[in-house]
Amino acid sequence: MVRPYVDFFKLGINHHLLFPAVFDDAEIHEQTLKIVARMDFLEVLDLFLVLDEPRLSREMELVRACGKEIIYNCPLFGLKPGLDPNSTDPEVHQRTLEAALPHLDAAVRVGATKLVVGSGPDPADPADRPAAKDGFCAFLSDLGQAAAQYDTTVLIEPFDRSIGKNLLIGPHTEAAEVIERVRRGGVENVGLILDQGHVALLDEDIHEALEIVAPYLYHVHVGSCVKRDPTDSFYGDMHPPWGYEGGECDVPDTVELFQAAFDVGYLAPGKRASLTFEMQPYPGLGAEESVDIFLDKLDEAWEIFASQVDELQERL
């Protein structure tokens, strides 16, 4: 089946959120990679690899053979003991960079040209943010220089500051400022991701967020979040599926995202930008059953959007 949006974007999925058990079990990670690799309606995979051999070699062989575009998602180094991408301490800076380089190597070896990173923790005192941004810009610049020799682009994913991951970056205006600063410093191979659920967590408007990041935008995640009920198991940056009760995003919000992305030129005929599902399965349903619902909702949102845009009417 050729889906109606295929001329506008390449559809993908985030492996480790569709199968969240992979964070704790390397065997599940490897076995579920086989499942997403077989999903022939997908052209893109967001993933990370288990770096321990011999599993790494098996996973790399599997990923290379699947024929999909790979967007490599690094761990959030700022949430790991002893590491912090924001640090201005030379030893912590170097240690964090050295933790990132094996992931860059794995990304390159599976043909990924986009490497995703997050910033470190947001300081408890807002007065410390300028120094933290200095540190993060230095980290991003160094990692970008290392990635440039492989024609790989390093992408920042903006996260929330107060309800889930609590990271420095952060608001999309500040994310764009960081990218512009690093580029002015001579490192051009850096850019941004926009995540639908993170926009909601930041209490930002999707149209405004996309206008801000458009000059730097390389990839979009679609999904949702829960931010009103702290007792909900999906509260914070936990990526509930579209339409989850208590969640923020569903079909109407995705129509808005399509419109905003179209308005800024990210979605355009023939451009075939990348867009991936970044959601956990529906409670009580398996991964593949949930993906069927994701696809149905995506089709519905696209049909509504396309019906509202004159130049897309004939494509329906």
- For 98-122, the pLDDT digits (tens) are 999 999 999 999 999 999 999 999 9
CB atoms within 10 A of CB 200: 22
Task: Identify whether 2 is part of a domain.
Answer: no
Does the residue 316 lie in any domain? Answer: no
pLDDT, one tens digit per residue, over 119-165 is: 999 999 999 999 999 999 999 999 999 999 999 999 999 999 999 89
Q: What is the pLDDT of residue 316?
A: 47
Residue 95 lies in a domain: yes
Residues 40-92: tens digit of each pLDDT: 999 999 999 999 999 999 999 999 999 999 999 999 998 999 999 999 999 99
| Structural domain span for residue 32 | 9-310
Residue 206 domain-assigned? yes
Q: Is residue 57 part of a domain?
A: yes
Give me the pLDDT at residue 164, please: 85
Please state the separation of Cα 201 from the chain's center in Å.
Answer: 14
Mean pLDDT to the nearest integer, 212-230: 98
Q: How far is CA 191 from CA 154, 177, 255, 279, 295, in A?
A: 6, 11, 24, 23, 28
Q: What is the mean pLDDT of residues 3-9?
A: 90
The residue among 6, 66, 8, 43 whose CA lies nearest residue 266 is 8
State yes or no: pLDDT of 285 exceeds 60. Answer: yes
Domain count, the chain: 1
Q: Percentage of residues in the chain with pLDDT exceeding 70?
A: 97
In a domain, 293, yes or no: yes
Residue at 211 is within a domain: yes
CATH code: domain of residue 158: 3.20.20.150
Instruction: Answer whether residue 315 is part of any domain.
Output: no
This prediction's pTM? 0.95
